[in-house]
Structure 1
Amino acid sequence: MATETTGAAEGAATASSCVDAGGSAIGMPQLCFDWWPNQIVWLVIALVAIFFILSRVALPRIASVLAERQGTITNDITAAEELKQKAADAEAAYNKALADARTEAQAIAQKTRDEIKGDLDDALAKADAEIAAKAAESEKAIADIRASAMANVEIVAKDTAEAIVAALGGKTDAKAIAAAVGNRIKG
């Protein structure tokens, strides 16, 4: 029994290098070289378990999320390029429509100017015709007035000549006075 007690005491001494008499660890258990093989085994098991969990579950999910994200970014860039092209096409169509509208507006303005000029020319021709007609009427009226004035002048001249001859005490001969006034008027 003494040998058994000595063997147990030796085993306890060897096992107790990291454990005190009360069974609690002395210092940090991670630094106890007696426990390292056990810790290394569990570390390897934990690392293998983490590796399999990450490689089978987490990393495929992360890879799919990254692939989906890259696909979304690529699709967004493609859509942005398409929208940019559509915007450029819309701008070109707008500029063409604007140029066409300006050309059409200039054509309409020129057409309106031509119509106004035509109407103005017609109005001027009509006004010229009316002015010419009124001028002809005025000339005729002036000629009539001149003719009546000459007739009146002749009558007044005859009456005045008779009155002067009578006032001077001469004998008035109507035929002689008419002949004298007629010769004088003719020149």
Structure 2
Amino acid sequence: MPQLDVTTFAPQIVWLVITFLAMYFIMAKVALPRIAQVLDERQTRIDDNLEKATALKKEAEEAATAYETSLAEARSKAQEAVKAVIDAANAEQAKKQDELAAKLNVDLEAAEARIAEAKDKALANIQAVSSEVAKATVEKLSGVSVDDAAVSAAVAKAMEQS
């Protein structure tokens, strides 16, 4: 094998050094700068994306805070509106209850007046009927004719006592 022949080591080492140096310069001047440029661009893009992500995250947090604030305000306004409607309904109900109570009181007073009037008429009729019954009873039992005024006075006196 010629590779292991000691007499050919010197030219092999020379060619090894020449090839190594050529490959080193090609890598150092062409390939590695391109790789470094690609890596730098990649890192720059990653950094830009991270900055954008941070900015978007901050923007999203601000939007969420604004949303929650507006939602809380909307809830507060809705509760105030509901409370106002409930208060208005309660006031209207109280007003209607007062009106109904007043109307019922008027109706009650009118009914009481009619009852009192009917009672007075009934009592007046009772007195007249009682006078007639008493006169008829006295005439039938005793056979004596009694004066209407005397019978009416006696019945009135008896009604006053009871």
TM (norm. structure 2) is 0.91
**Match of residue 88 from structure 1:** 61
> What CA deviation, in whole Å up to 9, does each residue of 1:51-103 have, x standing for no partner?
12212221111111111111111112111111211121122112211221221
Q: Which runs of 5+ in 1 are unaligned?
A: 1-27
**Match of residue 62 from structure 1:** 35
Match of 2:6, SS state, is coil
| Mapping of residues 1-187 of structure 1, within 5 Å | 28-169=1-142, 170-187=144-161
Counterpart residue type for residue 155 of structure 1: A
What is the percent sequence identity of the aligned residues? 36
Distance 2:139 2:57 in 1: 117
Question: Which deviates the most, 164-173 or 57-66?
Answer: 164-173
Task: Tell me the matched-pair count.
Answer: 160
> What CA deviation, in whole Å up to 9, does each residue of 1:151-181 have, x standing for no partner?
1111221122122112212323212111212
Q: Which of the two has greater helix per residue?
A: 2
Counterpart residue type for residue 155 of structure 2: V
- Report which of the two structures shows the higher radius of gyration computed on alpha carbons: 1
Distance 1:59 1:163 in 2: 149
> What CA deviation, in whole Å up to 9, does each residue of 1:118-166 have, x standing for no partner?
1011111111111111111111111111111111111221122122112
**Which consecutive aligned stretches of 4+ in structure 1 deviate over 6 angstroms post-superposition?**
none
> What CA deviation, in whole Å up to 9, does each residue of 1:19-69 have, x standing for no partner?
xxxxxxxxx322212111211121122112211221222111111111111
Distance 1:156 1:128 in 2: 40
Distance 1:61 1:164 in 2: 147
Q: Which runs of 5+ in 2 are unaligned?
A: none
Match of 2:59, SS state, is helix
TM (norm. structure 1) is 0.80
Q: Which has the higher contact order (CA 8 A, sep 6+)?
A: 2
